[in-house]
Chain A
Amino acid sequence: MNNWLKWTAPAAAIVSAAAPAYALQYMSVEEAQKAAFPGASFAEVQTGRVWKASNGGYFYYDHVVGKHLLIDYTVAIGPDGRVHRVDILNYRESYGGEVHDPNWLGQFVGKGSQSELRINSDIRNISGATLSSTHLTEGVKKVLTYHASHFR
């Protein structure tokens, strides 16, 4: 094996295929709550957004949305006010405007990790350019700032 070989394929195949929408669901809010504070009960403080856990911790549901990417995530904050756990619930990447389309996004509401996925379910794993997670880190920081000014 001493040479790179040109990958010859049918001419049409050299044009790469569009990846219009790539969506993955990992957990439901309930599953994330259970994983963060097992055995605790959760009282809603702000509808669908903030819960107080029976162990003294807090639980936030939030999302970061950018040009072609939307991520739903949860932040569990321990009784000590520090981040206990961060989970990603949904990851949706798209290039046709779907990320800002309420109908497309509506398909994900209330779905748990065991739900059947009907959108591009053939694309399950991707390799290539490494995605930055900076925006999610910034989102978690914003949640912490909000928490410090409202619930501490």
Chain B
Amino acid sequence: MPATSASIRRARALLGTFVEIDVADRPGGDAESAVDTAFAAVADVHRLMSFHDAESDVSRLNLMASRGAVTVHPWTYAVLEMALDMAHHSNGAFDIGVAGVRRPLAGQSSPGFDSIELLADHRVRFGDPGVKIDLGGIAKGFAVDCAIDALRSCGVRSAMVNAGGDLATFGGGARLVHIRDPRSPDRLLCQVAVSDGALASSARRFDPFRSAETTATAVVDPSTRLPAHAALGATVRAPTCMVADALTKIIMIAPQSALSQLARYGASALLVAPNGDILRTADWQGDLQHAA
């Protein structure tokens, strides 16, 4: 696609990572203001769904929803709906409701997603005072989807939003995305062409500012509250980034039961097993990186 003068690429630190917006085609208009609008949407999601910000919907729910219904922003409500759908169909492998308990007691079931009640008019109630939610496993993907919506409504015809590897794109043909090798993130595992869809990855944490080595994964297995160890890393391609983001977590925790969830959402995936094997779903499309 030929470059136009309204083609820009911008980056900001949001959601605890680097968020990049690349507008390739904004005919005759102000690409800069479209990008600003999209970053503002990401910042709004951050403000509503941060676990640490005392003013966020998440913090208000954690403080008050076990005592009575709390009204949340429609965006927060939409994320909760998707999170509960994911939880039900993954038998709790994906559970936003376990942030309040450090370790489950042996032989005792602890409160989780099934105590979260979604009521009319964007109201939410927790049926158990022990429930605390954390939307960290899904909100980043939702923020990407919101940024994409914002760009579309500003008249942008082709763009990509990449929030620390959770990304979505529309228009303008395929864009090439390189996947870091979860075993050694200074290396690339494969490349994938993404067009009009989303891609998200989960792996161990990594900060090239300090080291080329990874630290433990941020994905916690709800049944043990320990870091997930069923996979070293997972990448999911799905119609929306929220779905892709959440599905990577299910793969990291329960790869076998994740397969039916991937099919349910029209998603395909790649995972690196603990023994180093690279596994994929039958419909995964990508190219393994050839060794240099």
Given contacts A1-B281, A7-B288, contact A125 B205 (CB under 8 A): no
Chain A: minimal CB distance from B231 (Å) = 10
Q: What is the CA–CA distance of A79 and B92 in the complex, to the nearest angstrom?
A: 50
Q: A16-B291, A131-B208 are contacts. A126–B180 as well, Cβ < 8 Å?
A: yes
CB pair B279–A93 under 8 Å, yes or no, is: no
Quick one: which of A2, A113, A124, A131 contacts B18, CB cutoff 8 A? A131
Within the assembled complex, what's the spacing in Å between the Cα atoms of A115 and B185? 28
**B197-222 with Cβ < 8 A to chain A:** 199-212, 214, 218
- A46 CB to closest chain B CB (Å) equals 24
Q: How far is the CA of A12 from the CA of B282 in the complex (A)?
A: 22
Contact A6 B182 (CB under 8 A): no
Contact between A26 and B10, CB atoms less than 8 A apart: yes
Determine the distance from Cα of A43 to Cα of B203 in the docked complex, in whole angstroms: 46
Give how many A residues have a beta carbon under 8 Å from the other chain's beta carbons: 49
Asked whether, in the complex, the Cβ of A18 is within 8 Å of the Cβ of B12, the reply is no
Known: A1-B283, A6-B279, A86-B12. Is A128-B180 also a contact (CB below 8 A)?
A: yes
Are B281's CB and A5's CB within 8 A?
yes
What A residues does B263 contact at CB under 8 A? 1
Given A4, A18, A128, A132, which contacts B209 in the complex, CB threshold below 8 Å?
A: A132
Contact present for B11 and A18 (CB under 8 Å): no
Interface residues of A (CB under 8 A from B): 1-7, 9-10, 12-19, 24, 26-27, 35, 64, 66-69, 86-88, 91, 93, 95, 113, 122-137
From 34 to 93 in chain B, residues with beta carbon under 8 angstroms from any chain A beta carbon are: none
**In whole angstroms, what is the CA distance A37 to B236 when docked?**
40
Residues of chain A within 8 A (CB-CB) of B199 are: 127
How far is the CB of B117 from the nearest CB of chain A, in Å?
31
| Cβ contacts under 8 Å, A113 to chain B | 8-10
Closest to B13 in A: A133
- Within the complex, the shortest CB–CB distance from A71 to chain B, in Å, comes to 8
Q: Is B153 an interface residue (CB 8 A)?
A: no
Q: Which of B167, B186, B200 lies in contact with A95, CB distance below 8 A?
A: B186
A-binding residues in B (CB < 8 A): 8-14, 16-18, 20, 32, 160, 162, 164-167, 175-189, 192, 199-212, 214, 218, 233, 235, 255, 259-260, 262-263, 270-271, 277-284, 288-292
Bound together, the chains give a CA A91 to CA B175 distance in angstroms of 20
Considering the complex of A and B, which 6 residue pairs feature the smallest CB-CB distances, nearest first? A128-B180, A66-B209, A129-B206, A127-B165, A4-B279, A133-B13
Flag if B9 contacts A128 (CB, 8 Å): no
Distance in Å: Cβ of B219 to nearest Cβ of chain A? 11
Give 27 CB contacts A-B under 8 Å. A1-B281, A5-B279, A5-B282, A7-B284, A10-B290, A12-B291, A16-B181, A16-B184, A17-B187, A18-B292, A19-B180, A26-B9, A26-B10, A64-B209, A66-B207, A68-B186, A88-B12, A123-B178, A124-B175, A125-B160, A125-B167, A126-B165, A126-B178, A127-B167, A127-B178, A128-B179, A131-B17
| Chain A hits for B192, CB < 8 A | 127
* Shortest Cβ gap from A83 to chain B (Å): 12
Q: Determine if B290 and A12 form an interchain contact, defined as CB atoms under 8 angstroms apart.
A: yes
Within the complex, the shortest CB–CB distance from A63 to chain B, in Å, comes to 12
CB of A151, distance to nearest CB on chain B (Å)? 23
How distant is the Cα of A4 from the Cα of B182 in the complex, in angstroms?
18
Closest chain A CB from B194 CB (angstroms):
8
- Is B203's CB under 8 angstroms from A128's CB? yes
Tell me the complex Cα distance, A66–B262, Å: 38
State A136–B210 Cα separation when bound (angstroms): 12
Q: Are A4 and B201 in contact (CB under 8 A)?
A: no
Q: Nearest Cβ distance between residue A99 and chain B, in whole angstroms?
A: 9
